[in-house]
Amino acid sequence: MTAIIEAHGLTKRFGATTALDGVSFSVEPGRIVGLIGPNGAGKTTAIKSILGLTPFSGELKVLGLDPRSQRDELMREVCFMADVAVLPRWLRVRQALDFCTGVHPRFVRARAEEFLRKTDIRMDSRVRELSKGMVTQLHLALILAIDARLLVLDEPTLGLDLLYRRAFYDTLLNDYFDKDRTILLTTHQVEEVENLFTDVIFISRGHITLSSAVEALGGRYLQLTVAAEQAGPARALKPFYEREVFGRIAMFFEGRSAAQLAPLGDLRTPSIADLFVATMQGTMKS
């Protein structure tokens, strides 16, 4: 199976600052991948590299193409939506559809119109008359109408309320995603969308700290919660991170078996959000 994205030794420097430090990762087709990291971790730089928006060193293939030299061909197969995505405020909704019809060969206008009919957005409304949530819906309508193989989303629901965020992701799954399409998503709202991910990539200070299918995490990581008086025996098994929760201690282990840990306390597979915090603040084993 040919990877949708294949990076080897991907590096990007801004003067003395290294945004990406020789990272390697791959994204398989038909997956929903969460690219997760704190501010300044290198997420946006990785996305700009994938989209051919910034020069880089190392090897990077997206849909089998080099973003540096084959960007025109690549963008026929890729859609991108960012938290700062903007449309001219004077533009009418109808004109936005006219523009996309004229510039993108794979834009299906009828599909965008069908989606917009389910919203409160009027075709003759100007962008400046729309709420932030409605502008996001308009962007989503334009994206859903493009028959792309890869969708890249960079904090697409930033600043939206819960109802709009939930509707956005429901629409994405029900009306867009299928086994032939791949979604790469960055977000700080991990708890809300972690159930969508098939794979996760954690990035910190320009390094990949974890790249895994979600279904494989349970066989690699375990979270043990113990009473304070039981912490000693648990610590002897060398957790890579721990934190206090309502007077008890939650410990995170890599490579330990459930049989070793279960007698000491309450055992479960950590959530993606909790695992992210643990790997960012704890010491990840190589």
**Contact by Cβ (8 Å): 137, 118:** no
Q: Is the pLDDT of residue 282 over 60?
A: no
**Contact by Cβ (8 Å): 149, 180:** yes
What confidence tens digit (pLDDT) does each residue in 185-217 have?
998 889 989 999 999 999 999 999 999 999 999
Three-state DSSP class for 141? helix
- Largest separation between any pair of C-alpha atoms in the chain: 68
Binned at pLDDT 50, 70 and 90, residue 238 comes out as very high
218-281: CATH architecture: 2-Layer Sandwich (3.30)
CA angle in degrees (0–180, nearest 5) for 184-107-153: 15
Can you give the residue ranges of every domain in the chain? 5-215, 218-281
Q: How far apart are CA 142 and CA 130, in angstroms?
A: 15
What confidence tens digit (pLDDT) does each residue in 147-177 have?
889 999 998 887 778 888 888 888 888 877 8
Cα 273 to the chain's mean position, in Å? 13
CATH 3.40.50.40 assigned to domain 5-215? The reply is no
What is the signed CA dihedral for 200, 217, 166, 125, rounded to 10 degrees? 10
Q: How far apart are CA 273 and CA 217, in angstroms?
A: 12
* pTM of the entire predicted model: 0.88
Q: Is 201 left (phi over 0), alpha (psi -120 to 50) or beta?
A: beta
pLDDT at 229: 83
pLDDT at 280: 87
What confidence tens digit (pLDDT) does each residue in 57-116 have?
999 999 999 999 999 999 999 999 876 667 899 999 999 999 999 988 889 999 999 989
pLDDT at 1: 61
**Which residue, 73, 45, 141, 41, is CA-closest to 101?**
141
| 5-215 matches 218-281 in fold | no
Residue with the larger pLDDT of the pair 228 and 47: 47
pLDDT at 53: 94
